[in-house]
Structure 1
Amino acid sequence: MTVTDADPNSLNSHENVVFDRSLKTCPKWLRERIISDLSKETRLLDIGCGAATLTTHLKKETGAEVIGVDVDRPSLVAGRSDNASDLLLGEGAHLPIADGAVDVIIAIESIEHIPDAKEFVIEARRVLSEGGVLWIKTPNRRAHDLFQLAKRNWSLNRHFHVSLFTPGELQNTLSEWAQSWVRPGLAEYQREKLAGIHPVIGWIADRVPFESLPLATQPSLVVRAERQ
């Protein structure tokens, strides 16, 4: 189903409040890395596209043929007004996309919301062309849990982030792919979150060279995986 088929008048008023942080969670340096994989001939799939802010940005920058998929109809409807891409209602583990139909997939802070992450990886392989590329950015499980404990969330409730990984766990999940890992450091929105817990934590975070630390200590995991 494309978003242009949806009727925005059918949505309740509270459903029209849509938050799209994709340009924050996909910072400029990562967008530039993704753009280096794109051209006018590229078919790009954005999984968990939300209101398609990032989707539309990448299309405007590269001229690529872009498709966005999300489970949230209000977000898709919100994105349709300023959109030059196809937007589809669907799940990451059950993509409404034909076999081998895309060349690049981006999943920016999406895989952690998919209950069956292994099925998502299988689906990504199915819809990618031979040699296609999958970009994943997701919270590091260790860093995520430390952040929750710092907020005094002692139960480590993961009702929102249902599939979290350590670097080793994600490497194993992508064992059939050629992997290139990036040390992303601490993004600005992550600095703001830490400072929100306590000013001292924010002060320390500003002075730690996260991008130089091992993968195991990175706040986020970023990997470029190539279909073999």
Structure 2
Amino acid sequence: MTGESYAALNHLREGRRQVTVRASGELRDFYERPETPVSAAQDRAARLVAFLREITAASSGELVIADVGCGDGGITRMAADAAPGHRVIGMDWAMAPLETARAKGLTVMRGTAAHPGLPLASASVDVVVFSEVIEHLVDPDAAILELHRVLRPGGHLLLSTPNLAAWFNRGMLALGRQPVFSEVSMARVFGRPGQFVAGHLRLFTLGALKEFLVAYGFADLRVRGACYHDVPGPLRPLDRLFRSWPAASAILTVHARKPH
């Protein structure tokens, strides 16, 4: 590659970084708003904690567990209760939910998997919980690399995200409606059910999520489906049924490992 080509590549990288920083600042303001949802739904949280219990049961020493994008600390609290004797830390970039988490007696710090990165040393964490975060990110590639960096060899990633190919989204698209979870505006909801803007920027199918994680160095993927808390009451038995078919479940929960 010529010197001119290197210079052009570096210019593109710097431009991408500046766009990411500006967009991240705008999103940070969005998540500081009191009306923005920052709490974990029960079923997907329970699925991730079930993975965590399996990990701690197989461990002979103290684990460092980081809940990255912890919001108000709902999963952090569940993780701490499920992993007594282990070190559990909650991290988020928005101060308002962090203060709520701290008020619950949790150990929290400000940090983000996006630029400028987590305030953690490389290979210093045994388990990263990344629940309902990746769909909100401007640069998920940089974030997943950052999680890979802080995990020890053999470390565990526990991730959840909405499923673009959820059973009800297949029906919505067939009817010409906007899929649930997807958003076209940061100001209000258009074309789909629901009243709250959640700030979703990226949506994955099961196949795309698997390919994405493998491409960035994760292996031994295990996937379980989870229910969506806003499914109308009469349809909840159907949502529970589809939970056993992850490719069509409402929520994808994944346990992946960083190879030794």
d(CA) in 2 for partners of 1:74 and 1:151?
A: 38
d(CA) in 1 for partners of 2:163 and 2:47?
A: 19
**Where in structure 2 are there 5+ consecutive unaligned residues?**
1-31, 187-198
SS in 1 for 2:100: helix
SS in 2 for 1:22: coil
Provide the TM-score with structure 2 as the length reference.
Answer: 0.67
Question: 1:211 and 2:209 equivalent?
Answer: no
Pairing 1:54-133 to 2, within 5 Å after superposition: 54-63=75-84, 64-85=86-107, 87-93=108-114, 94-133=117-156
SS in 2 for 1:106: strand
d(CA) in 2 for partners of 1:72 and 1:147?
A: 35
Say whether the 8 Å CA contact 2:226–2:253 is kept in structure 1: no
**Where in structure 1 are there 5+ consecutive unaligned residues?**
1-13, 196-201
SS in 2 for 1:21: coil
RMSD of Structure 2 on Structure 1 (CA) = 2.9
d(CA) in 2 for partners of 1:73 and 1:37?
A: 30
Say whether the 8 Å CA contact 1:47–1:105 is kept in structure 2: yes
Q: How many corresponding residue pairs? A: 203
How many percent identity over aligned positions?
Answer: 29
Q: Which amino acid aligns with 1:142?
A: A
Pair 1:132–1:203, CA change in 2 (3 A): same
Say whether the 8 Å CA contact 1:139–1:219 is kept in structure 2: yes
Pair 1:57–1:218, CA change in 2 (3 A): closer
Say whether the 8 Å CA contact 2:93–2:110 is kept in structure 1: yes
Q: Which amino acid aligns with 1:74?
A: A
Match of 2:208 in 1: 169
Pairing 1:1-228 to 2, within 5 Å after superposition: 20-22=38-40, 24=42, 26-38=44-56, 41-63=62-84, 64-85=86-107, 87-93=108-114, 94-143=117-166, 153=178, 156-157=183-184, 159=186, 160-175=199-214, 176-187=217-228, 189=229, 193-195=230-232, 202-207=233-238, 209-213=241-245, 215-228=246-259
SS in 2 for 1:58: helix
Say whether the 8 Å CA contact 1:73–1:89 is kept in structure 2: yes
Deviates more, 1:89-98 or 1:124-133: 89-98
d(CA) in 2 for partners of 1:210 and 1:148?
A: 16
d(CA) in 2 for partners of 1:120 and 1:223?
A: 16
d(CA) in 2 for partners of 1:158 and 1:119?
A: 24
d(CA) in 1 for partners of 2:237 and 2:161?
A: 21
Pair 1:121–1:158, CA change in 2 (3 A): farther
d(CA) in 2 for partners of 1:15 and 1:156?
A: 18
SS in 2 for 1:37: helix
Q: Which amino acid aligns with 1:173?
A: F
SS in 1 for 2:103: coil
Structure exhibiting the larger radius of gyration computed from Cα positions: 2
Q: CA deviation at 1:178?
A: 1.2
